[in-house]
Amino acid sequence: MPISWEPFVEVIRRHRHILLTTHVRPDGDGLGSMRGLAETLEQQGKQVRMVVASNYPARYQFLNADGRIERFTLPGDSWQQTEAVVVMDTGTRNQLGDFAAFMDGLSVDKVVIDHHRTQDDLRALTLVDTSAEATGRLAYEAIRALGGRPTPSAADALFTALAMDTGWFRHSNATPKTFALAAELVEAGARPEILYDLLFEQNSLPRLKLMGAVLERIRTDCDGKVAYTELRVQDYVATGALPSDSEDLVNFTRSVTGVEVGLFFMEQPRGGVKVSFRSRARVDVERVAKQFGGGGHRLASGATLETSLDVAQERVLAAVRDAVREINA
């Protein structure tokens, strides 16, 4: 449903010091959206700071070449003077990490800009359009509502957001409107050929080794309709990779011929197991993820289980089997 941007514009007009953030383990959509909007706000005389409550992924270092995106840590004293907070690409508390508690303690205007269906009450102005293929589109709409136009560097950031959340325009959420927006961003200065090289052709050797471990462990279930694989904590030490190097590896599971649902189980260094769900088309994996306190989109969702890897696989596979049986009933 289209968003009315007037309340957001009013919030921005009232304040000068604005703090932007996105979810932990940030991806191209979250970071690109945040970076693109930040540039427009600064052009309009705002004092903008950007934070993320987790380590910054090396893959997206080109979006933070100036080091402006800060690592948020509690108690957050250096960010207390903000007058408004804008959260991008998530509306759930667990996706904000330590920033959620910090935000709870702030008596300032708060805004959520997101395209996911799963939302918590963050006591914020919530601007959500689940029909948007990426939060990058919503960031672009917000920029236009403020009377701005993306600079070439902002266009690069927004193109990254749009491209990454559509699988570089391969997924079913890429529509004619998606390509029209991509064209506008290219006209504004986005460089698809350079961005593709930075995102997909600059893999570190540790990431490639991690990829090999994931591929070696792929197994199938439900007569080949489900494929799943895993990463264990010790894999990071063995390969020299970082947790952020696991981004997109779930897509290998969905790429197996005949698979309806792909699953990626990742042991977390702090404990528990993060599960990524991908559906080819017929199974609503958001419904499955919600059974485990997660959420996301119909075709791409996630959840975290505070269990061992074996228990997480047993529970999630049982739920996915039920979902696959439903579509074949």
* Mean pLDDT within 291-310: 92
pLDDT of residue 199: 95
| pLDDT on residue 296 | 86
Q: Answer whether residue 201 shows pLDDT above 80.
A: yes
The values of phi and psi at residue 166, to 5°, are: -115, 15
Question: Where residue 130 falls among pLDDT bands split at 50, 70, 90?
Answer: very high
| Mean per-residue pLDDT, 260-270 | 94
pLDDT at position 297 over 90:
no
In the chain, % of residues over pLDDT 70: 99
- Output the pLDDT for position 161: 98
Residue range(s) of every CATH 3.90.1640.10 domain in the chain: 6-200
Pick the CATH number of 205-328 from 3.30.1490.190, 3.40.50.740, 3.10.310.30, 3.30.450.20: 3.10.310.30
Per the confidence metrics, is the pTM higher than 0.75? yes
Phi-psi region of 55 (alpha: psi -120 to 50; beta: other; left: phi over 0): beta
Per-residue pLDDT band for 281 (boundaries 50, 70, 90) equals: confident
**Interval 60-93: pLDDT, tens:** 999 999 999 999 999 999 999 999 999 999 999 9
Q: Please, where in the chain does CATH 3.10.310.30 lie?
A: 205-328
Q: SS3 string of the chain?
A: CCCCCHHHHHHHHHCCEEEEEECCCCCHHHHHHHHHHHHHHHHCCCEEEEEECCCCCHHHHHHHCCCCEEECCCCCHHHCCCCEEEEECCCCHHHHCCHHHHHHCCCCEEEEEECCCCCCCCCCEEEECCCCCCHHHHHHHHHHHCCCCCCHHHHHHHHHHHHHCCCCCCCCCCCHHHHHHHHHHHHCCCCHHHHHHHHHCCCCHHHHHHHHHHHHCCEEECCCCEEEEEECHHHHHHHCCCHHHHCCCCHHHHCCCCCCEEEEEEECCCCCEEEEEEECCCCCHHHHHHCCCCEECCCEEEEEECCCHHHHHHHHHHHHHHHHHHHHC
Q: How far is CA 123 from CA 6, 97, 106, 247, in A?
A: 18, 17, 11, 30
Task: Indicate if the pLDDT at residue 328 is higher than 80.
Answer: no
pLDDT in tens, 143-162: 999 999 999 999 999 999 99
pLDDT confidence bin for 165, thresholds 50/70/90: very high
Residue 283 is predicted with a pLDDT of 94
Candidate CATH numbers 3.90.1640.10, 3.30.460.80, 3.40.190.10, 3.65.10.10; the one for domain 6-200: 3.90.1640.10
pLDDT above 80: residue 32 = yes
pLDDT, the chain, mean: 95
* Helical axes 135-145 vs 6-14, angle rounded to 10°: 70
